[in-house]
Amino acid sequence: MKDLTQCVVNPSVATEGFDSLSVPVHRGSTILFANAEDYAKRGERGHAGYTYGLYGTPTTRTLEAKLTALENGAWTFLLPSGQAANSFAVLPFLQAGDRMLIADTSYPPMRDFANHDLVKFGIEVDYYDPTDVADLERRIDGRTKVVWCESPGSTTMEVQDLPAIAAVAHRHGALVSCDNSWATPLNFKPLDHGADLVTEALTKYISGHSDLLMGSLTVRNEALITPVRSALGRYGIGVSPDDASLVLRGMETLGVRMRQASEGTMMLAERLAGHPLVEQVLYPALPGSPGHAVWKRDFLGASGVFSVVFTPAATPHVQHALDVLRTFAIGASWGGTRSLMAPMPVKRNRTARPWTGEDLILRISVGLEDPSDLQDDLTAFLDDIAARTAKAPTA
């Protein structure tokens, strides 16, 4: 070979004898075939084979296999964000004239996707009360092809009775999809409780370091693989092996991170629940919190994300008091090593289960800092709200 060719062609080196604990990053768009016949028959390799970088590399397959095992599913697909996983958990299964029912407390971008895009394609979208199976029963019909769940719900944390919901949905021939980002498959396994598809925002706990975006979609059985696989190919959806390798690395510590975060969260949640400025703590693992009984029945543990509803007098001051925080950072998203607080407006467009409380709820994500620093921060924060509330003229 001439020099210019040597620059282009990589020599093959032995890989036997190099057994590293880390998963190699396999980058590639083109996949080579041994001969013309192999190339001609590449379509027969199926969803598990390698044909083109978009459809998977050994790095992404490793992450998919880990998630499939944890979810007790048949196959897992990786997508560029949690929201992309949500969209593709329903898109392949809907067509014009179909109906989709969405838990009224779902992640707001999922509502927006349904209201803007699905409706545009002639799909009818309706919302059901996530905690009332009778309400679902009233709204479901033979045209309903997908029932969307998220448990606990975004911000207001309603826990769903997934087995009961799945029984109603399946009786009407609908698939059940569940966004499991809060619990992760360590703390809840939706496929074991009747769901057909489960999504995770890997962006949050599973990658765990607030440095990437990715989502996963795991299906219950073989029949659900091809519709998703082919839709992802047509839309051109895949993920980078570099990002997948970061998720694989972060995931190795998922268990200890979740345990640490949930222990720290329980201490903060208990303290807040007893505070005079707090009306309600929404954390399913906390006895007395809404949904605690169903959480205890179905879940294996809790994560470190919860919400706080302040009294009407204190609520207007929550936003300003955030500025005294030193250990907690202010920001959206959650599930990383850093503790976060974010004031969340509760959407007034909920129809099946209207939110009648205050307009603003504080969402807290507990990270891995020393719990005493978090407690000190919380003390300063609550003291600041108390001082502002006392000073404010009474209406």
107 lies in the binding site for ligand PLP (CB under 6 A): yes
Instruction: Give 209-267 as a DSSP string.
Output: SSS---EEEEESSGGGHHHHHHHHHHHT----HHHHHHHHHHHTTHHHHHHHHHHHHHH
Nearer to ligand PLP, 178 or 322 (CB): 178
Least gap, CB of 219 to ligand PLP (angstroms)? 18
Q: How far is residue 322's CA from residue 317's CA, in Å, rounded to a whole number?
A: 9
Q: How far is residue 113's CA from residue 249's CA, in Å, rounded to a whole number?
A: 31
83 lies in the binding site for ligand PLP (CB under 6 A): yes
Segment interacting with ligand PLP, rule: CB under 6 A, options 35-43, 54-62, 78-86, 116-124:
78-86
Least gap, CB of 213 to ligand PLP (angstroms)? 5
Binding test (CB under 6 A) with ligand PLP, winner from 56, 215, 238, 241: 215
The structure tokens 């607080």 sit at 341
In terms of Cβ atoms closer than 10 Å to its own Cβ (0-12, 13-18, 19+), residue 41 is exposed
Q: How far is residue 170's CA from residue 145's CA, in Å, rounded to a whole number?
A: 10
Radius of gyration of the chain (CA): 23
3-state secondary structure of 54: helix
Element (H, E) at 282: strand 278-282
181 lies in the binding site for ligand PLP (CB under 6 A): yes
154 lies in the binding site for ligand PLP (CB under 6 A): yes
179 lies in the binding site for ligand PLP (CB under 6 A): yes
130 lies in the binding site for ligand PLP (CB under 6 A): no
Strands (DSSP E) along 324-393, which ranges?
Answer: 329-330, 340-345, 360-365
Structure tokens at 213: 């975006």
Q: How far is residue 221's CA from residue 218's CA, in Å, rounded to a whole number?
A: 9
Binding test (CB under 6 A) with ligand PLP, winner from 82, 250, 284, 290: 82
Nearer to ligand PLP, 299 or 384 (CB): 299
Least gap, CB of 137 to ligand PLP (angstroms)? 25
Q: How far is residue 21's CA from residue 244's CA, in Å, rounded to a whole number?
A: 16
185 lies in the binding site for ligand PLP (CB under 6 A): no
Least gap, CB of 297 to ligand PLP (angstroms)? 21
Amino acid residing at 120:
K
Nearer to ligand PLP, 129 or 243 (CB): 243
Tell me the per-residue interface mask from 327 to 356 with ligand PLP, x by CB under 6 A, - otherwise.
Answer: ------x-----------------------
Binding test (CB under 6 A) with ligand PLP, winner from 81, 115, 311, 327: 81
Least gap, CB of 121 to ligand PLP (angstroms)? 21
Which residues of the shown chain bind ligand PLP in the complex (CB under 6 A)?
81-83, 86, 107, 150, 154, 179, 181, 201, 203-204, 213, 215, 333
